[in-house]
Structure 1
């Protein structure tokens, strides 16, 4: 199916061009239209499209301000974990540059890979595990991830090709059981300019799981290229150049125009518990997860941390995320731990970027207290979210304050 979709942000117009009444245009029409896509020939392109396809549907709409779409061509995201929707080819009909735009990962029957749109896969490392689109995580194990990239143009190289990865660092058991990692392959002159695919990371355990990059594991291999290392800061950042070693970023045409980026993630159980609680007022010890408090009153928040793992957790950092309905009381943060059993006053970083509370050996703990004003209309609810960050993983917890009112 051919579909052209030019999408911009904000109030820009969106133009959809479809083929016949089923929204289809054959490959001949696509190639003909491609030859006319020049700034001076836009009117000719529209005329040719109307003559050949018949029943052209021109849909001009204005997206709402809430729409925040990628500027992509040939369609929107699919429902199969990859995207965007785009023109596809069989392995034996790769297009010539003069007849169709350059494309990445759009062959559906690659004899070495299968459907190239499904180019991001995962498996447990070691043993004889099969590549797939999902994996059930277990602490202490390692997982290999593979990104396949291919130049689908028969007679022209693609330059400045990059691949990058986004994945959640902590797979929480409190949230949805399935989280996604996403791989992107991009190039400036291809249509679409970026393709992506996802894998599912499943956490069916009773605790959080942290995924850490295994140092030195990322590498890229092309069909006619030796394996070479990849910088993780690039792979997990703006993207690493792939392709041939003598000309990074360039993928040749034809049978040599493919390669793979492989890296490993380690699955680690954070080895700590983190909880928050709140009480109305500033005295007493009636901490709960849900309380009621009057508008403009003070509440006291308690954050507790316990290292139940087997290693020292260093530079433990706590942070409170305040909304406009919550105002931190300066100089109210107090830390209690083995070194400060009577408590020590902390700087006000808990409300601005977080505060580091030290290193903790196995079976040690800490508690941090602070005070805040809460504001809101009667019967409204305020969510107080706090986070913890350690080298072994991150976590968060949330308490609720309901503003007092009649008939709540």
Structure 2
């Protein structure tokens, strides 16, 4: 091992460059990561330093934690939090703040001497610039502490110190000016109640250095395109280029597009495009390119397509020309009669900006004098098609829906038919239907509210509209509903039967919708007559010998049957049982009733018992008979005595 150590020491002595490189590779990233230094002992509020040392307390509540991180930046004019990294913006200034605190315990009364603050403002140009703030004292250990903060941008910039902006603030000094030497190796002397370089140990003697820096950006290159569009009549042999020319149907005109780079940055992939108006037709194969490298190079016909053509890259003040021919359309294809101004639009783009310019061709279109147009509504007819039924739940009443077909006869000359407009109004003059038929003259509508109506038809043409008195009709929608309901009552499926008392029998109630509208909320009621008891029912509710049953909905022709089990409780009776039905769809109460009858006969009376016949002669009075009478009397007397004794005992 000793031999190995000797070899290592010998290697280090003979190869110092290699050893220093290794040390730099190990320690430099660590220092960069920390962004403050030097590496030193740290303290807390509860246990401050026993000697003079600056910015080493790690739980400073005023600074928000670690005093080693004592340099911060924020934009001037904002209340943003102090940060170690801020985005630099053109035209803005930024405060740089340094916290200064002698961490020696107050009871030691240790005063730091020759306290100086420095801020290293780099002069290089980059996208990221780091500022380093330092606080030094001649009797501090370590003598100097430092921290860093960074300004960044996506563009290159450099930093300038704003002269005269440095100040120092403590409990005794309120923003006192510091010399501009703070951004030099000399630095600026600080203090507590005056700038004498002396700062006692404790929080109450701490302070802040504040100054301004300003990022400076190089002028940003700008892209700008100047576009010019000209035209000349090639058929007439014109040489000069103009913004507008006169031509006739069939003439050939030539357009020229000039695009120039008016910016400070090179324009790559400049695209030119031309949009021809209706009345001008591109002549295929006539597009040619003129620039520094080409003099009339034939290029793609895509100039007049959506994609345009890529004419290459152009530096500041460089330009390019594109020329092509177009033919004025035949007379009948021109947009309108009389003078037409056909404006041609050119576009130049570099994917960021688009410039437009135009040139025009004036051409006259000869048209025949149009014949006067006529359009007239001749007649209106109404044809009922069908009637349907329904129930208006909001009005709680039935309604009749009727379908009508309206047809208008009209005449048109020298104009184009557009359609027929129908307007239907109610008796109050309110429009309930307004519809235009564009593909004919007939309109079919359904109207579900009864009342009197007026329909008006108007013929629409390209040149105007017309309605006449005979194109207005009146019609009426009536309620066609006939609701009806019936109830049929039977007993054991008969109208009249004879039953025995206390023996069960059945009443049947048949409820039928025999109208032409669906019914709702139908109430069936049946009250048992005297001497009849309702035992049970397969529908509804029995209460106090009364049946009540509600049918929510009953469609047209639909029926429901209710069966009631009952019995008679007396004999010798004739009982008529009445059931009724009622629905709110039909006005009034008890929209239908029906009855069924039962007879309960009396039972046969058994014959009365016969009275015993008296003997034809008195009994004999003999000794035997006398003894029998006496014996019987004794028995009767003994029995009476026993009964009396029992009552007394009670």
More strand by share: 2
Range class of TM-score, shorter chain: 0.3 to 0.5
The TM-score with structure 1 as length reference comes to 0.45
